[in-house]
Copies of this chain bind each other. A is one copy, B any other.
Amino acid sequence: MKKLINDVADVVKDSLLGMEAAYSELVTVDHEHKVVYRGDAPVANKVGIISGGGSGHEPLHGGFVGHGMLDAACAGEVFTSPVPDQMLKATRLVNSGAGVLHIVKNYTGDVMNFEMAADLAAADGIRVEAVIIADDVAVQDSLYTAGRRGVGLTVLAEKLLGAAAEDGQDLDSLVKLAERINDSGRSMGMALSGCTVPAAGKPSFDLAEDEIEIGIGIHGEPGRAHVPLATAADIAEMLVRPILDDLSYRGSDTIVFVNGMGATPLIELLVVYNEVAKILAKAGVTIVRKLIGNYITSLDMAGCSLTMLKVDAEMVNLWDAPVHTPALRWGM
């Protein structure tokens, strides 16, 4: 295993020190609880938005803390859910009295721990609602999940919900918006290679030199199938088709998100985006906004995922709204 790390046990701690050293104008880090939060939290009269999950998916979630997106993010160990105590701490830190929204990727540990934190926060008198993101069409259940996994849509949800909260929407409206996002978003991923969890020291799985995995999860969980290595055009088809089979996007304005899994260079993501755009044009889907890059990763996995989200004018406005976080920034 070759990684730019110190001790295997310190990877998350050291990366949070790096976050703090690099972005202290935006975020503060509670190292005891491994919570990254907005320096100006709690923001008066604003619903607090928090997320979190296992580390190894950077910039998700800590890289999305800042104006117009998250108020706080809880970092678990690599590919391991944070504990309720972290989520409770984050909830307290960002609560202005307007309530707190938990954005939770659908993994059993995350869902359970966020629920427990919400109960504890309620005992404190903090109103908490949760949205469970479950957008991965690849498999019905997986190693770590009952129901669909929460993957790329999480990034788009954090942007839209963060903008809506910044805009003054109350907790009830945010919950409704979250439901619309969940209803309108789907994802599908693929891998050229496995990823290596530092504590494991070897790849989560091996693929032959002429094989790829379609429908992979963001922890190297098995997908739909090993298939022979194919062209970018064919791989784009393998990502787009299951999404369009699951939900109709014809005639819809859509945000398209081509995400790198961590070890795939941008030149390849651009090639994939081009193929996706061609297929969607033929399928009558209008791409109104796009995001291309490494935003929800799986350590050093090579591969990519596609997320599509149908949007109305309000959602486009929320997408365009100013954001200033370590990993996503515009308008500020």
Residues of A within 8 A of B (CB): 2-7, 11, 14-19, 21-22, 55-56, 58-59, 63, 192-193, 209, 212, 229, 231-233, 235, 262-275, 277-278, 290, 292, 294, 297, 299-300, 302-304, 324, 327, 329-332
What secondary structure prevails in chain A residues at the interface with B? mixed
A-B contact pairs, 25 of them (CB 8 A): A3-B192, A6-B233, A6-B271, A11-B267, A14-B232, A15-B274, A18-B269, A18-B270, A18-B272, A18-B273, A18-B277, A18-B292, A21-B274, A22-B277, A55-B267, A56-B265, A56-B267, A58-B265, A58-B267, A262-B263, A262-B265, A263-B264, A263-B265, A265-B297, A330-B332
Complex partner residue of A232 from B6, B63, B303, CB under 8 angstroms = B6
Q: Are A2 and B332 in contact (CB under 8 A)?
A: no
Contacts of A300 in B (CB 8 A): 263-265, 302
- In the complex, which residues of chain B have a beta carbon less than 8 angstroms from the beta carbon of A235? 4
Contact residues in B for A192 (Cβ distance below 8 Å): 2-4
- Residues in B with CB closer than 8 Å to A6 are 231-233, 271, 275
Q: A212 near B11 (CB under 8 angstroms)?
A: no
Do A302 and B5 contact each other (CB < 8 Å), given the known contacts A18-B271, A331-B332? Answer: no
Asked if residues B58 and A3 are in contact (CB atoms below 8 Å), the reply is no
Q: For residue A302, which residues in chain B have a CB less than 8 angstroms away from its CB?
A: 2, 263, 300
Nearest B residue (CB) for A268:
B4
Number of identical protomers = 2
List B contacts of A327 (CB < 8 A). Answer: 266
Given A270-B58, A294-B265, A297-B266, CB of A193 within 8 Å of CB of B18: no
Known: A58-B266, A63-B266, A265-B262. A273 touches B2 (CB 8 A): no
A7 proximity list for chain B (CB < 8 A): 231
Give Cα A17–Cα B19 distance, bound, in whole angstroms. Answer: 35
Set of chain B residues within 8 Å of A324, measured between Cβ atoms: 330
